[in-house]
Structure 1
Amino acid sequence: MGAALTRYRVIAWIVGVVLIVLVVIGMPLKYVFDNAVVVETVGPAHGFLYMIYLVAAFDLSRRADWPLKRMLLVMLAGTVPFVSFFAERRVTAWLAAPQVARAPEPVAR
């Protein structure tokens, strides 16, 4: 499951950054300055990357055996600016907690 988590973390950051560029830079340029070049280039890229994000989140959720509600919330995190970063940290914490619980305790000498 480590590789699936790594794939999810990488694509979550990429989708988050691209969405922020689209919303913070592209949208004001389009609607305030009437220049749609950023929206026209970054928008389709975000759409394509979001599809990859959905596949990575689905793969990870199936491997981790999450309930449907958690899987859907994680998938929706890529649609709201800054939320994908928060979701990535939460997902990492959820998956790291069982790892810590199973780790053997050090032997006292």
Structure 2
Amino acid sequence: MLSNALNRFRLAGMVEGGSLLFLVLIAMPLKYFAGLPEVVTVVGSIHGFFFITYCLVIAYTTFKIRWSFSWVFQAFIVAFIPFGNIWLDQRLKKNFAV
């Protein structure tokens, strides 16, 4: 799966998107409903690492396959939307025949 830059980007997107979902759907409810703010601290730090890595992979992919500004913008914006990376992954499969 990691044979080219686009597949590496797709993997980074799924990991980052998964960490966002874990943060929003599991860690945040544990903080507010179970009184465990430590969970958000740990999961938030891990998610932050994955987000920074994802941004670096966006830059790498942009230079490697000469993405247009539109793709770069979409890749960055979906990082803030739960399930956004799944939507982008489907668009990548359709437009780049991955």
Q: TM-score range by the shorter chain?
A: 0.7 to 0.9
The residue that corresponds to 1:81 in the other structure is: 82
Query: Residues 5 and 92 of structure 1 are in contact (CA less than 8 Å); yes or no, is this contact kept in structure 2?
Result: no
Matches within 5 A, 1:9-20: 9-20=10-21
The Cα shift of 1:24 comes to: 0.4
Q: Find runs of 4+ consecutive structure 1 residues off by over 4 angstroms.
A: none
Matches within 5 A, 1:1-109: 3-96=4-97
What TM-score do you get using the length of structure 2 for normalisation? 0.84
Distance 2:95 2:60 in 1: 15
Q: Which amino acid aligns with 2:15?
A: I
Of stretches 28-37 and 42-51 in structure 1, the one that deviates more from structure 2 is 28-37
Structure label with greater radius of gyration: 1
Query: Residues 8 and 57 of structure 1 are in contact (CA less than 8 Å); yes or no, is this contact kept in structure 2?
Result: yes
Q: Which amino acid aligns with 1:77?
A: V
Uncovered stretches (5+) of structure 1, i.e. residues with no partner: 98-109
The Cα shift of 1:89 comes to: 2.0
Number of equivalences? 96
Of stretches 6-15 and 28-37 in structure 1, the one that deviates more from structure 2 is 28-37
Uncovered stretches (5+) of structure 2, i.e. residues with no partner: none
Identity of aligned residues (%): 28
Change (3 A) 1:11 1:60: same
Query: Residues 19 and 46 of structure 1 are in contact (CA less than 8 Å); yes or no, is this contact kept in structure 2?
Result: yes
